[in-house]
Amino acid sequence: MKTKQRRLPREVREQQLIDAAVSAFSRGDYHSVSVEEIAVAAGTSKPTVYHYLGSKEGIFTACVRREMERLVEAIRAAVHAPRPTDDDPLRRGMRAFFAFVVDNRESWTVLYRRAAAQGQPFEAETARVRDRVTSEMAELITACTRDDYGDMDTRDAQLLARVAVSTADAFADWLLDHPDETPDTMAGHVAELTWSHLRTRGPAEV
């Protein structure tokens, strides 16, 4: 007698489809990747992909949003993990960022290369990724500098965080092209550049 295949929970099936889509979009741009290709990679049919994720635009957007959440959560977990008091939290956050890039090349490609290259509406999704990461860094910078500088102005913290995130974006591609580099060394460079910028301003200016 033929055994009836057990149906997967919707959330599990959606994640499997997004996994397949992220992999496909990392290999080809938005226009060259077909829904059929994603369906085959996921071991299912096109109607099933459409049923769970909607249009092709919806599929790509789901990929960007999920990978964004994974990146932000990785940074947040690293920053708030119990560590020695002399361990720089900003460096920890940047280390988590670079580790995510190295360990999830497909995710990085979709988030920062494919999405940005497609224009709207995906460009807006990419901007939201940067805004989320920048906000995390701004909160971190404010907390790290409170003892020496008092409460930093929100605008100053955002600007400094944007410098750190923009630098990290540029360094990420360098890291992937230079396997002799490590997430920790890249994080150290970003942290030092960020703190050196703050030191030149002095406590009275913050």
For residue 79, give the amino acid letter: V
- DSSP E strand stretches across 41-155: none
Tokens in use for 130?
């940067």
Distance CA 68, CA 186 (A): 20
| Span 62-69, average pLDDT | 91
Phi first, then psi: give them for residue 104, nearest 5 degrees. Answer: -135, 60
Closest among 101, 172, 92 to 140, alpha carbons compared: 92
* C-beta of residue 110 within 8 angstroms of C-beta of residue 64: yes
**Residues contacting residue 7 through CB under 8 Å, at least 6 positions apart:** none
pLDDT at 153 over 50: yes
CB count in 10 Å sphere of residue 14: 15
Peptide bond into 179 cis (omega under 30): no
Confidence of residue 173 (pLDDT cuts 50, 70, 90): confident
Distance CA 119, CA 72 (A): 23
**Residues contacting residue 197 through CB under 8 Å, at least 6 positions apart:** 160, 163
CATH level 3 topology of 64-205: Tetracycline Repressor; domain 2 (1.10.357)
Q: Where are the domains of the chain?
A: 64-205
pLDDT at 41 over 80: yes
Instruction: Give the CA angle between residues 82, 168, 130 to the nearest 5°.
Output: 90
Compute and round to an integer the Cα radius of gyration of the chain. 20
Confidence of residue 19 (pLDDT cuts 50, 70, 90): very high
Please give the share of the chain, as a percent, with pLDDT higher than 90.
38
Tokens in use for 188?
């150290």
* Residue tagged 């249009």 (tokens): 55
In tens, the pLDDT along 117-152 reads 777 777 777 788 788 888 888 888 887 776 655 667
pLDDT at residue 17, as a whole number: 95
| Span 163-184, average pLDDT | 90
* Residue tagged 């708030």 (tokens): 80
